């Protein structure tokens, strides 16, 4: 296949390009605006690959996307604004990229006759759940401008299936971690701070629970849905590794060889969801399950940040 992968200069998108190059003969066109969260250095190991073409651009730019789309068999959309704290401070950027960008991408794809669109989303669209796990058909109750804009983008993408027959699937993943993650997110923020002997900010009492998914497992799941998923369907992707934030902080302190006194409680985030949890029964039917355990995954991630200060030091908030 010839794939158009958006947002591939970022954390998850770049990991997916590596997955595709390693596991298939597909050719890849990368479209990325190179905002603060994306960089040429994140793509340095594949940008000159003979099966990769890079185009700097915005998925909300209809003219550009119309010029680029033709000849591609499928689109995988990773392009998004994704940081909750930033969405509270500047929600307009999230609505523009996540909603308008998705609309332009799907509209251009259906006009160009592109066979397949996979829209990558988040489990945060469901909101918080104290017990049990969300299934794909559950009510959406997003609680931040970020998650609300992603919920909107999901519905926009699925609307193109209902109205135009576009072959769209949506994936909703739990919290990702791994190498090349921008150090505003909790695991790289904590790891890079602790490796430098700096304090780490723990929101509230640290009881908020997240399910952690290694980025390599996420990429394998996205690829599975791209090639086997059904049109008009949603697939949850999780790591089956629920940890409270305070448990995560203590694990990272140990892995970084730091002192627990560096864990510093700070005022809780506005609208902070208490717990995310999703059912994986549907994607299991496609033959996927997570392979990287949380202990192995956290250790390898900390080791990567320990060895790659050149990449993260210029990006530290």
Q: Is 182 a catalytic residue?
A: no
Sequence-distant (≥ 6) Cβ neighbours of residue 72 within 8 angstroms: 2, 3, 4, 29, 112, 114
Integer Cα distance of 235 and 126 in angstroms = 13
Residue 10 contacts residue 178 (beta carbons within 8 Å): no
Decide if 154 is catalytic: no
Instruction: Tell me 278's DSSP state.
Output: B
Provide the 3-class DSSP secondary structure of residue 86. helix
What secondary structure letter does DSSP report for 144? Answer: S
In the chain, what is the straight-line distance between the N-terminal and C-terminal CA atoms, in Å? Answer: 39
Per 3-state DSSP, the chain is made up of helix, strand and coil in percentages (nearest 5) of 45, 20, 35
280 and 221 in contact (C-beta within 8 Å)?
Answer: no
Token pair 């730019």 in the structure block, residue: 61
Q: Which helix (H) or strand (E) holds 168?
A: strand 168-173
In the residue annotation, 260 being an active-site residue is answered as: no
**Strands of 234-237's sheet, edge to edge?**
52-56, 27-32, 2-6, 74-77, 116-122, 168-173, 234-237
Residue 129 carries which DSSP code? -
Q: Which of 146, 180, 235, 305 is catalytic?
A: 146
* Catalytic-role residue among 32, 58, 81, 124: 124
Return d(Cα 82, Cα 235) in angstroms, integer.
19
- Whether 110 contacts 122, CB under 8 Å: no
DSSP state of 251: H
Q: Tell me the HSE value of 195 on the side-chain side, using a 13 A CA sphere.
A: 20
Q: Which of 58, 81, 123, 217 is catalytic?
A: 123
Catalytic residues: 123-124, 146
């Amino acid at each position: 296949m010839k794939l158009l992968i958006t947002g591939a200069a970022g954390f998850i998108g770049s990991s997916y390009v590596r997955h595709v190059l390693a596991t298939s003969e597909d050719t890849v066109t990368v479209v990325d605006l190179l905002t603060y969260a994306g960089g040429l250095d994140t793509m340095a190991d594949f940008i000159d690959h003979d099966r990769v073409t890079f185009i700097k651009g915005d998925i909300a730019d209809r003219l550009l996307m119309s010029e680029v789309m033709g000849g591609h068999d499928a689109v995988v959309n990773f392009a998004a604004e994704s940081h909750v704290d930033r969405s509270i401070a500047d929600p307009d950027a999230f609505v523009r990229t996540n909603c308008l960008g998705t609309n332009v991408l799907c509209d251009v794809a259906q006009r160009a006759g592109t066979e397949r669109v996979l829209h990558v989303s988040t489990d945060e669209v469901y909101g918080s759940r104290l017990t049990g796990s969300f299934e794909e058909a559950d009510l959406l109750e997003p609680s931040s401008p970020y998650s609300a804009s992603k919920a909107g983008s999901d519905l926009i993408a699925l609307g193109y299936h209902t109205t135009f027959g576009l072959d769209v699937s949506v994936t909703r993943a739990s919290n990702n971690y791994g190498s090349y993650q921008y150090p505003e997110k909790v695991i790289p923020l904590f790891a890079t701070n602790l490796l430098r002997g700096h304090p780490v900010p723990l929101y509230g009492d640290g009881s908020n629970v997240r399910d952690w998914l290694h980025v390599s497992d996420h990429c394998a799941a996205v690829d599975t849905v791209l090639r086997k998923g059904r049109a008009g369907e949603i697939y949850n992707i999780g790591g089956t590794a629920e940890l409270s934030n305070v448990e995560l902080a203590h694990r990272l302190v140990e892995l970084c060889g730091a002192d627990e006194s560096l864990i510093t409680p700070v005022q809780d985030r506005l609208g902070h969801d208490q717990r995310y949890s999703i059912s994986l029964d549907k994607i299991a039917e496609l033959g996927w399950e997570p392979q990287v355990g949380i202990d192995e995954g956290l250790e390898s991630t900390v080791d990567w940040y320990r060895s790659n200060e050149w990449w993260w030091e210029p990006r530290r908030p």
